[in-house]
Amino acid sequence: MTLLAIETSCDETSVAVVRDGQVLSNVVSSQMQMHAEYGGVVPELAAREHLRNLLPMARSALETARFEIRQMDAVAATQGPGLPSALMAGFQAGQALAYALRKPFVGIHHHEAHLYSPWITGNPPAAEFADFQPSVSLIVSGGHTMLVHVESELHHRALGSTLDDAAGECFDKVGKLIGLSYPAGPEIDRLAEGGNPKAFLFPRPLIAAMNDDFSFSGLKTSVRYFLRDHPGILDDPQSIRDLCASVQAAIVEVLISKTIRAASRMGVRCVTASGGVTCNRALRRALAGACQRQQITLRLASPGLCTDNAGMIGVLAEWKLLRGQPATDLEADVLPNWTLA
């Protein structure tokens, strides 16, 4: 089965062609620079850019995959959650395309696509997937931080999520306080490699709480107070690196400790991680170490599939169609507040 997939839930426009569980092309156009000027995503600008980008990107995705649009067996698009106007741009384009092609249309839950993205291996994902279930999955990005228990194929249950800021949002907001441009996660990751993670002690919010929820807004506030109490610290490049490493260590420790605890409590032997923050090198290393100590198999989304992309949308849509799940109505609307059950 060959599908064209579209992702426009936030500030990345992406179009992919997937076939038999493989991502043949995955074109991503980031609007980061445009939004950086405003220090965050401006929804109306995002929607306008998606509309401008979608057609040329669809052409380019098809060209790279060496397919013609009429060869598509289905069309998929992100239905939610996300910014309403941004979602609408890609979702309605997908519906119109499916209507014109007279092929099924599948609306996909953005977090569910992240959830299964570690299983995109180039093989049909279900091949290996079954051997590793049940599992516990950490989805960690700019808009979401959650733990999910996957019982079996397409059967999962959210265990907990962030009560306020997502981990990626915390990276971005701390970066803004330090004077880094948006999104600051990748730059903090880079600076932290040359810093001492024990230089400054920051709180590990909810680390001891007996639940699977997260909270990162207090950590951001404590960095603000730290900067107020240490005037001039940003004039010293090494102190900036130490600060980045110390904040990153706090975020990573909370994520790892809660993920491993959930995995032990649920008695699973496999942990997966996905979403933009899963690009973070310290997080990848720490998760690998913790899982090895617990003799848990770790499955990380590949860096190219961690940040928002249409490849993960297409692979999940194909999986659903092959498992007999119904197509989405062409009259259906976007679901900006859709929660993962």
307 binds, among ligand KG4, Zn ion, none (CB under 5 to 8 A by kind): ligand KG4
Whether the bond between 134 and the residue before it is cis, its omega within 30 degrees of 0, is yes
State the nearest-atom distance from the C-beta of 329 to ligand KG4, in Å: 25
Residue 212: Cβ within 10 Å count = 21
Bridge partner list, 107: 77
261-264-269-274 Cα dihedral, nearest 10 degrees = -20
Residue with structure tokens 């995002």? 46
Residue with structure tokens 């038999």? 20
Say whether residue 94 binds ligand KG4 (CB under 6 A): no
Interface segment toward ligand KG4; rule CB under 6 A; list 121-129, 167-175, 252-260, 327-335: 167-175
Considering only 53, 85, 280, 328, the residue that binds ligand KG4 (CB under 6 A) is 280
| In the complex, residue closest to ligand KG4 by CB | 276
Residue with structure tokens 């962030």? 162
Q: Which helix (H) or strand (E) holds 156?
A: strand 155-161
| Helix, coil or strand: residue 206 | coil
User: Which region, left, alpha or beta, applies to residue 102 given φ > 0 means left and ψ of -120 to 50 means alpha?
Assistant: left
State the nearest-atom distance from the C-beta of 208 to ligand KG4, in Å: 24
Question: Which lies closer to ligand KG4 via its Cβ, residue 22 or residue 78?
Answer: 78
Considering only 5, 6, 10, 268, the residue that binds ligand KG4 (CB under 6 A) is 10
Say whether residue 90 binds ligand KG4 (CB under 6 A): no
Considering only 7, 165, 189, 212, the residue that binds ligand KG4 (CB under 6 A) is 189
Interface segment toward ligand KG4; rule CB under 6 A; list 97-105, 127-135, 274-282, 288-296: 274-282
DSSP 162: B
Contact 202, 222 (CB under 8 A): yes
Residue with structure tokens 């730290």? 226
Question: Which lies closer to Zn ion via its Cβ, residue 76 or residue 178?
Answer: 76
125 binds, among ligand KG4, Zn ion, none (CB under 5 to 8 A by kind): none
| Helix, coil or strand: residue 312 | helix
Kindly state the tokens that stand for 328.
Answer: 């989405």
Kindly state the tokens that stand for 37.
Answer: 């000027």
Say whether residue 49 binds ligand KG4 (CB under 6 A): no
172 binds, among ligand KG4, Zn ion, none (CB under 5 to 8 A by kind): ligand KG4
Rounded Cα–Cα distance for residues 260 and 180 (Å): 31
State the nearest-atom distance from the C-beta of 196 to ligand KG4, in Å: 18
Binding site for Zn ion (CB under 5 A): 141, 308
Q: Could you give the string, one character per residue 126-165, with x where binding to ligand KG4 holds by CB under 6 A and - elsewhere?
A: ---------------xxx----------------------
- Report the interface residues with ligand KG4, using CB under 6 A: 10, 141-143, 168, 171-172, 183-186, 189, 275-277, 279-280, 307-308
